[in-house]
A and B are shown apart, each in its own frame.
Chain A
């Protein structure tokens, strides 16, 4: 019974995600494209909730919709020449595009046909937040620390770049 509901939600999200992703690429207006990117990222967050990964879903909304998309919109609004300009997207390298498209689709079909998708029989973890926290602090401490150092370096780099611009 519950399967039907989750199937309906799955396909609704799939339609939403694919159509908004197509609109991101084909849209002529940069601002609209950024908005559709936000919609696409939200529908991906919907998948995480469907899979009972609520912490990951929340982080998707927090980081991508609240952070990345807003920064993108910021950039678009600050580059005044680009706002309200309809960009043309004409196909210039027709043959290269067709060849690479056909080979990519062929490869994906080939891979999808031969792969056996393993489905875990375990029920999903109830309290994902504390579980993820424990895993970070025990089994995956090294990757966690490496990412922390990387982010710290990015943060310091951003401050230095901003300083140089302001000093001139």
Chain B
């Protein structure tokens, strides 16, 4: 993207007020990221269906469109045309706001992820912290959904979601400290530039801890405690239907996009790859889909944990491992 100095010069030359230029750039970028997200979600849902079908020896969707590729469109039309239902005792405002909050929290996390050299909406100097801090706003959204529905399953789902996300934030944040130490910066583009040698090889423990706690953070199986359908009906989103439910799903897939993209940026060398720099986004996309495939593979092959096992794993295994990783990184760096 353009630097701010260039922007100011451009505005002065053409007589555009700087705030109008700023606002229009922000709007265009937000729309661009949003449409990229929409496209990504369509591709990922189709991929999820086909991958799960393949793993379970099924065919997956086949009827709507070529090889079932338009199935999601049909589903979206169904969800859009459904009646907007409120439970009788629901807290209407919390019930209404929760899906929007979950979606926005997932969406704004994408703003700092660089997909190519200088191809980033806002390259914050605390970009890494930003990506780690934003999901904690989504937790509030899940609790709102659980509480606002006035339903015991939704309440349990909301509580579990909050407990799980709060406890896995700790090992997740600690597992990337090794990277910040190696790269000497929390700016995501600097971290990518510093990876002549991918950090997955320099930080294997950090990578394992990060991947496992990321799965827990985005509530994917084997950590999908919050919605565990065999015990909690559908967790925090039990009472939701139609468009609001679609927003929860949308938010979930965007969280998956952002988690996979972050894994690529931190551990797999971001846009680096053979060939000219222009190919950067393509290399990024290839690595991105690789990570997404691994996450889906895990989802469809492993059974769900129990909630106490999830908590044990987070606090008694991942947290000490993350601390050990920091210690080893520090010792190796000081030698």
- A interface residues with partner B (beta carbon < 8 Å): 1-2, 4-5, 29, 31-32, 35, 38, 42, 54-55, 58-59, 61-62, 65-67, 69-71, 73-74, 77-78, 83-84, 126-130
**Closest A residue to B22 using CB positions:** A5
Asked whether A83 lies within 8 Å of B147 as measured between CB atoms, the reply is: yes
A35-B22 in contact given A54-B124, A55-B126 (Cβ < 8 Å):
no
B124 — nearest CB in chain A belongs to which residue? A54
For A42, the chain B residues whose CB sits under 8 A away are: 137
Q: Which of A5, A69, A83 contacts B19 (CB 8 A)?
A: A5
Asked if residues B133 and A54 are in contact (CB atoms below 8 Å), the reply is no
Expressed in whole angstroms, the Cα–Cα distance for A14 and B163 within the complex equals 32
**Any chain A CB within 8 A of the CB of B140?**
yes
Contacts of B140 in A (CB 8 A): 35, 38, 65, 69-70, 73
A59 CB contacts on chain B under 8 angstroms: 129
* Residue B166 is within 8 A (CB to CB) of chain A in the complex: yes
A129 to B136 CA separation, bound complex (whole angstroms)? 21
Known: A66-B139, A77-B155, A84-B150. A35 touches B166 (CB 8 A): no
Q: How far is the CA of A1 from the CA of B58 in the complex (A)?
A: 62
Q: Is B194 an interface residue (CB 8 A)?
A: no
Provide a sorted-by-A list of 19 A–B residue pairs whose CB atoms are within 8 angstroms: A1-B18, A4-B19, A5-B22, A55-B129, A58-B130, A58-B133, A61-B133, A62-B132, A66-B139, A70-B136, A70-B139, A70-B140, A70-B166, A71-B166, A77-B143, A84-B91, A127-B125, A128-B126, A129-B126
Q: How far is the CA of A61 from the CA of B133 in the complex (A)?
A: 6
Nearest CB of chain B from residue A1's CB, rounded to whole Å: 5
Contacts of B136 in A (CB 8 A): 61-62, 65-67, 70
**A1–B89 alpha-carbon span in the complex (Å):** 50
Is B94 on the interface with A (CB-CB < 8 A)?
yes
7 pairs of A and B residues whose beta carbons are closest in the complex:
A66-B136, A62-B133, A58-B129, A61-B133, A54-B126, A73-B143, A58-B126
A-chain residues with CB within 8 Å of residue B216 when the two chains form the complex:
none
Q: Which B residues touch A127, using CB under 8 A? A: 125
A58: B residues at CB distance < 8 A: 126, 129-130, 133
Q: Which residues of B contact A61 (CB under 8 A)?
A: 133-134, 136-137
Q: How far is the CA of A58 from the CA of B132 in the complex (A)?
A: 9
Cβ contacts B33-56/A at 8 Å (1 or 0 each): 000000000000000000000000
- Docked Cα-Cα span, A35 to B125, in Å, equals 29
A87 to chain B, nearest CB (A): 15
A65→B137 contact, CB < 8 A = yes
Give CA–CA (A32, B91) in the complex, Å. Answer: 10
B99 CB–A CB distance under 8 Å: no
A31 contact from B126, B147, B186, Cβ within 8 A: B147
A56 CB, min distance to chain B CBs, angstroms? 10
Q: Give a binary string over B132-157; 1 marks a CB under 8 Å from any A CB, 0 the rest.
A: 11111101100110110010000100
Pairwise interchain contact B129-A62, C-beta atoms closer than 8 A:
yes
Interface-centre pick from A38, A42, A58, A59 (highest chain B CB count, 10 A) = A58
A69 to B136, CA, bound (A): 10
Give the docked Cα–Cα distance between A129 and B184 (Å): 10
Assembly CA distance A55 to B127 (angstroms): 10
- In whole Å, how far is B186's beta carbon from the nearest beta carbon of chain A? 6
Residue pair A70, B133 in contact (C-beta under 8 Å): no
- 11 more contacts with CB within 8 A, not counting A35-B140, A61-B133, A78-B159, are A31-B91, A31-B147, A54-B124, A58-B130, A61-B134, A65-B136, A66-B136, A66-B137, A70-B136, A73-B140, A126-B125
Would A66 and B169 count as touching, CB distance under 8 A?
yes
A1 adjacent to B166 (CB under 8 Å): no
The smallest beta-carbon distance between B40 and chain A, in angstroms, is 25
Does B158 count as interface, using CB distance less than 8 angstroms?
Answer: yes
B137 touching A129 by the CB < 8 A rule?
no
Residues of the B chain whose Cβ atoms lie less than 8 Å from the Cβ of A84: 89, 91, 150
Q: In the complex the two chains form, what is the Cα distance from A2 to B18 in whole Å?
A: 8
**With contacts A5-B22, A31-B147 known, is A70 near B162, CB below 8 A?**
yes
**Complex Cα distance A49/B98, Å?**
25
Could you say which of A4, A29, A70 has the most chain B C-beta atoms within 10 Å of its C-beta?
A: A70
CB contacts (< 8 Å) of A67 on chain B: these are 136, 166
